[in-house]
Amino acid sequence: MKESIMANTELHYKTITDLAILLKKQEVSPVEVTETILSRIDDLDSRYKSYATVMADHAMRAAKRAEEEIRKGHYKGPLHGVPVAVKDLCFTDGVRTMGGAKVMENHIPTFDSTVVSRLSAAGSVLLGKLNLTEGAMGGYNPSFDVPLNPWNTDRWAGASSSGSGVSTALGLCYGSLGSDTGGSIRFPAAACGTVGLKPTWGRVSRYGILALAESLDHVGPLTRSSADAAIMLKAIAGPDLNDPTALSAPVPDMLSDIDSGVKGIRIGLDEQYVTDGVDPELSRAVLDGVKILESLGATIVDIKMPAVDRYMPFWRTLCTAEALAEHKSFYPSRRDDYGPYFREWLDIGSGVSGVDYVEANNQRNECNGLIRLAMQPIDVIACPSTIEPAHPITIEQMYGPIDKNRDPSYQRFTVPYDYNGYPTLSVPCGFNSEGLPLSLQFVGHPLSEALLCKVGHAYESATSWFLMHPSF
């Protein structure tokens, strides 16, 4: 079913940035806002299936606490009193965390993940846990609800952070957390028309988060603007004694420079990379976006990207082997309790030898080195987030066996930046002739998330795509 488009006016479609102003001035209350969103979840999510668990009582307690704190002048910042949600692989004390997998259906953590703790410390209101494809991998498990794309319910909502994309696009939260191992923040952001920020690997602690592949996993926000992504990242990022892989680098004020424009920022463009094998309407929108940034003062630099497609098969070797290590408590003893897609993923991992893994890692390092060289003269790469707009959901459901029916280049714009851990920002850049969202991706050097958000914010300030949402 195709939905129509309208601009951002209602309370539930406010950006975090705009809502924070209202909350700080006490023109609306956290309780009022939270009740509005919970009511909307009640009205819509039985159809759109974005939530695995709605934590209504918990949310109302947090909203009342935030309201009292703000009333007394103890304002904590732009997330204070703002309803958010997290992908259902983030541990929540006393609340089931399933990871989209039957083997985890009775898993009730006894502590919060670091990201949940930090969102709480920022004063946000946690609405609940969001659905995902099984194990944070792609492919549908017939035992679990499939989140539906709010722009067209016959189209893919992205994976694996599908509930994060749907809930954020549909005004069922103001921002959400997802994870990205091969594209799982960027695919839902692109399919659902939201912003998706995949930070530098290690920028955000993964303590208390179910892993798919530890060397590839990233945690980051999906929001309705680049400034909102900056706000959420600032809240969750930074060193963590509970996660030795979390980077020690301090997190800057993500908003202090966001309005300074893009003059002098060097944006790399490889037109062949952007157009070959890419949906023509999508590549045209990306090139138009680059022209807009040039008109705002950015310097466009011609670059030559490496032939990244040849490195894509090695991601499967790495990811399946690492996923098998993560699921050793359940596989193969409970193999039949997995859905068909993830079960096969683990089966493939069980056949990966040590030599296979080392060779795949060598190829990953080679790809990383080539991209590093291509990026030497620039600050940011501009490219699509995906090779096409959201495809029919029937195609996704028929894949079953891994990659046998799928275009092997579909991860061309995602996997390379999971390989190297570089930060990326996906922003809406239009709609195609069928009314499906199109998405432009910016790729930066390590720890350049603030710069990416500044570029995204400048693009949004010159366009209105990020303000568009389904007309209900």
DSSP 149: P
Provide the percentage of residues in the chain whose pLDDT is more than 90: 92
Domains in the chain, start-ordered, CATH in brackets? Answer: 5-470 (3.90.1300.10)
Tell me the sheet residues that pair with 143: none
* Among 327, 361, 329, residue whose Cα is nearest residue 344: 327
**How many helices, marked H, and strands, marked E, lie in the chain?**
15, 13
pLDDT at 143: 81
How far is residue 139's CA from residue 52's CA, in Å, rounded to a whole number? Answer: 17
pLDDT at 21: 98
How far is residue 81's CA from residue 126's CA, in Å, rounded to a whole number? Answer: 10
Neighbours of 377 (CB within 10 A): 11
Q: What is the mean pLDDT of residues 395-422?
A: 78
Average per-residue pLDDT for the chain: 96
Reported confidence tier of residue 140, pLDDT bands at 50, 70, 90: confident
Reported confidence tier of residue 401, pLDDT bands at 50, 70, 90: very low
Angle (CA) 308-199-370 rounded to 5° is: 25
pLDDT at 414 over 70: yes
Angle (CA) 423-162-255 rounded to 5° is: 40
- Give yes or no for a contact between 147 and 431, defined as CB atoms under 8 angstroms apart: no
How far is residue 147's CA from residue 408's CA, in Å, rounded to a whole number? Answer: 24
pLDDT at 416 over 80: yes
455: Cα within 13 Å, side-chain hemisphere: 32
Angle (CA) 248-254-258 rounded to 5° is: 150
Q: Is 307 exposed, middle or buried (0-12, 13-18, 19+ CB in 10 A)?
A: exposed
Cα separations (Å) of 374 from 12, 156, 215, 368, 380?
42, 32, 23, 10, 11
Handedness of CA 272, 454, 416, 170 (dihedral sign): negative
Helix boundaries (H) for 146-193: 162-169, 186-192
pLDDT at 142: 80
Q: Which residues neighbour 112 within 8 Å (Cβ) at sequence distance 6 or greater?
A: 91, 92, 93, 120, 208
pLDDT at 5 over 90: no
Reported confidence tier of residue 127, pLDDT bands at 50, 70, 90: very high
pLDDT at 7: 53
- E runs forming strands in 117-190: 125-130, 176-180
pLDDT digits (tens, 9 = 90+) for 24-57: 999 999 999 999 999 999 999 999 999 999 999 9
Token pair 């039949």: residue: 336
- By mean pLDDT, which of 181-185, 336-340, 428-432 is the weakest? 336-340
pLDDT digits (tens, 9 = 90+) for 77-86: 999 999 999 9
Bond preceding residue 184 cis, omega within 30 of 0: no
Reported confidence tier of residue 395, pLDDT bands at 50, 70, 90: confident
Task: Dig out the tokens for 447 from the structure.
Answer: 């720890």
* Among 136, 28, 131, 16, residue whose Cα is nearest residue 79: 16
- β-strands 83-87, 5-7 pairing: unpaired
* Among 104, 164, 158, 160, residue whose Cα is nearest residue 137: 160
Amino acid at residue number 460: E
Which are the catalytic amino acids? Answer: 87, 160, 184
pTM of the model: 0.97
pLDDT at 6: 53
How far is residue 86's CA from residue 221's CA, in Å, rounded to a whole number? Answer: 9
Distance, first Cα to last Cα, the chain: 13
343-352 exposure pattern, b = at least 16 Cβ within 10 A, e = fewer: bbbbbbbeeb
467: Cα within 13 Å, side-chain hemisphere: 13
How far is residue 225's CA from residue 375's CA, in Å, rounded to a whole number? Answer: 26
pLDDT digits (tens, 9 = 90+) for 332-379: 999 999 998 899 999 999 999 999 999 999 999 999 999 999 999 999
- Give yes or no for a contact between 219 and 199, defined as CB atoms under 8 angstroms apart: yes
DSSP 147: P
- Find the helix or strand (DSSP H, E) in which 80 lies: none
Task: Dig out the tokens for 167 from the structure.
Answer: 């809930």
Token pair 């991992």: residue: 349
pLDDT at 381: 99
* Among 419, 421, 420, 409, residue whose Cα is nearest residue 384: 409
DSSP 200: P
pLDDT at 398 over 70: no
Provide the percentage of residues in the chain whose pLDDT is more than 70: 96
